Structure 1
Amino acid sequence: MISLNKTIAYTKNWKHTLWIGLLLGVLLPTLLMTLEPFDNSNSFSYKYLILSGYGFCILIPILLVHPIENYVYKLQTNRWFIINECLYVLATLFLMLLFSFFYHFYVVSGLPTFTSKLIWGFIKSFGLPFIPLIVPLWLYLRSKYGLIEVPISTKEQPKKMKSITIVGNNKSESLTIFESDFIFARAQQNYVDVYFNTETGMQQETFRSTLSNIMKQLPKAWQVHRSYLVNLDYLQTVEGNARKRFIRISLTDETIPISQVYYKALTKRLSNSSQELQN
């Protein structure tokens, strides 16, 4: 089962969002002109020009929702989860269908009044059939132009001695540490090992939980692999090649694998950082 709290790539850039909206906005009128679902085989004035207007019913909702999703993304410390993507698609789809209905009602059909029954009938008959054609391409484009951001750590910023409490599924599982003392976490089946710094060196605590639930409780935790979270303040080197890469962190000799999608995010961070790490 796919975890809804798994981090995924996010399309933050306005330019890419506009480009996605334009592509989908061209696709819908093209499908309408080809499939002619509204019985528009009958000729009417400016037929193709009017059908092209449905493209704005796709583009405008995408642009309207983008500031809201950017706000949520920033609120979640530049992280985007599968659950966020699902809610975004559902909300934006609803607006697209609503815009399309009013455009169809007032511009295409030119009817004087409407009811909620007409709205639902339009969505069921003419909206839902297009969802399997548009949504897969929409999700693909968001993934293609999206990225997973990794924060840039600066030495000038003083470390805040902020305490955090990590809890597992069992009530007895609880650990309070300083936020900056978290080093890394490793998931193994139904358990997660959390490693943290102490005055006597690195210590480990095991929780019955999932990696995604532990990540929510650790502000400095950034996923680099499906089984690993790390605190990038402890990052020392990035090693390996295109087939297999891993990172080394201070206070431990253990190497941590890094997946390709997270490696792209990490290299962007390193290119903007003054740290000299081995590639």
Structure 2
Amino acid sequence: MISLNKTIAYTKSWKHTFLISVVLGILVPLLLISLEPFDNSNTFSYKYIILSGYALCIIIPLLLAHIIENYVYKKQTNRWFVVNEFLYITITLFLIFVFAFFYHFLIVSNLHTFTLKAIWGFAKAFCLPFTPIVVPIWLYLRSKYGVIEVPLSNKKNTKKINSITITGNNKSETLSILESDFIFARAQQNYVDVYFKTEKGVAQKTFRNTLSNIMKQLPNAWQVHRSYLVNLDYLKTVEGNARKRFIRITASEEIIPISQLYYKALSNRLSNSSQELQN
């Protein structure tokens, strides 16, 4: 089962979001014209033009929802999780169905009173058949144009004295440190080892928790591997080749692997901040 707290790629670009909305907006009228789920062939003039109007019922909700999802994305410090994607798809689908419902009855059917029977009939004819067709294509396009961002290091933020508290599943498992003192975390089965800087050097504390839950408590933590979080302010070098890459950090001798999923985002971050990337 896929963890709802797993980090995934996010479609941040308005350009790509508009492209996705147009593709889906074209797809739905084509399905309506070819399948004729409402059995409305030859019942009104300009049928194809009017059915093409359903495209707006796709495009407008997607663009409106993108304003909200971008806000959530920024609030989560440029992170996007499986649970976010699930909620986004569910809520946006509901908006699409509402837009399509009113367009169908007010414009296509020219009705002004709605019954539960009519609503259920619309759901069976429009929502249920098209959802399994449209949603997989929608998810594929969002994945194709999505990225995992690694933000540039902000030196001003690292100087701030922000205290954070990390907790585990057990009540006794708590750790309060400065935000900038977190170095990296490593997951092992049901436990996570958190490494942090102290006056005496690097210290370590173990928590009974998942890596994704620990990540939510660490503002400066960025996932580079399924088992590792790092504070990129301590990043020293990226080494290895296309088959196997790893990173070194300044505060520890630990060799931290980096998966292909996160390598592109990390290399872009290093390029933008003019740091040396070793291949």
Whether TM exceeds 0.5 here: the answer is yes
What's the offset of the Cα at 1:43?
Answer: 4.8
Matches of 2:154 and 2:59, distance apart in 1: 39
Instruction: Give the corresponding residue for 1:59.
Output: 59
Aligned with 2:205: secondary structure?
A: strand
Instruction: Give the corresponding residue for 1:241.
Output: 241
State the identity as a percent: 75
Q: Give the conservation status (yes or no) of the 8 Å contact 1:236–1:277.
A: no
After superposition, the C-alpha distances for 1:114-165 in whole angstroms (9 at most, x for unaligned) are 1355334312332121000000010111111111111101446551121111
After superposition, the C-alpha distances for 1:70-120 in whole angstroms (9 at most, x for unaligned) are 111111111111111111111100010011111110111111311355334
Matches of 2:99 and 2:112, distance apart in 1: 17
Matches of 1:251 and 1:65, distance apart in 2: 42
Residue segments in structure 2 that go unaligned for 5+ positions in a row:
none
Per the normalisation by structure 2, the TM-score is 0.96
Q: Give the conservation status (yes or no) of the 8 Å contact 2:161–2:179.
A: yes
Instruction: Give the corresponding residue for 2:266.
Output: 266
Instruction: Give the corresponding residue for 2:84.
Output: 84
Structure 1 residues 247-256 or 157-166, which shifts more?
157-166
Residue segments in structure 1 that go unaligned for 5+ positions in a row:
none
Instruction: Report 1:3-152 matches (<5 A).
Output: 3-152=3-152
Change (3 A) 1:38 1:231: same
Aligned with 1:26: secondary structure?
A: helix
Change (3 A) 1:170 1:254: same
Structure 1 residues 88-97 or 158-167, which shifts more?
158-167
Instruction: Give the corresponding residue for 2:225.
Output: 225
* Amino acid in the other structure paired with 2:265: A
Matches of 2:55 and 2:22, distance apart in 1: 8
After superposition, the C-alpha distances for 1:170-199 in whole angstroms (9 at most, x for unaligned) are 011111111111010011110001111111
Per the normalisation by structure 1, the TM-score is 0.96
Matches of 2:18 and 2:267, distance apart in 1: 26
Matches of 2:152 and 2:81, distance apart in 1: 20
Change (3 A) 1:207 1:156: closer
After superposition, the C-alpha distances for 1:20-78 in whole angstroms (9 at most, x for unaligned) are 00000000011111111111333531111111111111111001111111111111111
What's the offset of the Cα at 1:257?
Answer: 1.0
Change (3 A) 1:209 1:157: closer
Structure 1 residues 27-36 or 14-23, which shifts more?
27-36
- RMSD between aligned residues: 1.4
Change (3 A) 1:124 1:62: same
What's the offset of the Cα at 1:168?
Answer: 0.2
Matches of 1:96 and 1:108, distance apart in 2: 16
Matches of 2:221 and 2:158, distance apart in 1: 18
Matches of 2:229 and 2:8, distance apart in 1: 14
Matches of 2:69 and 2:18, distance apart in 1: 14
Structure 1 residues 118-127 or 22-31, which shifts more?
118-127
Matches of 1:156 and 1:82, distance apart in 2: 31
Q: How many residues align?
A: 279
Matches of 1:217 and 1:232, distance apart in 2: 16
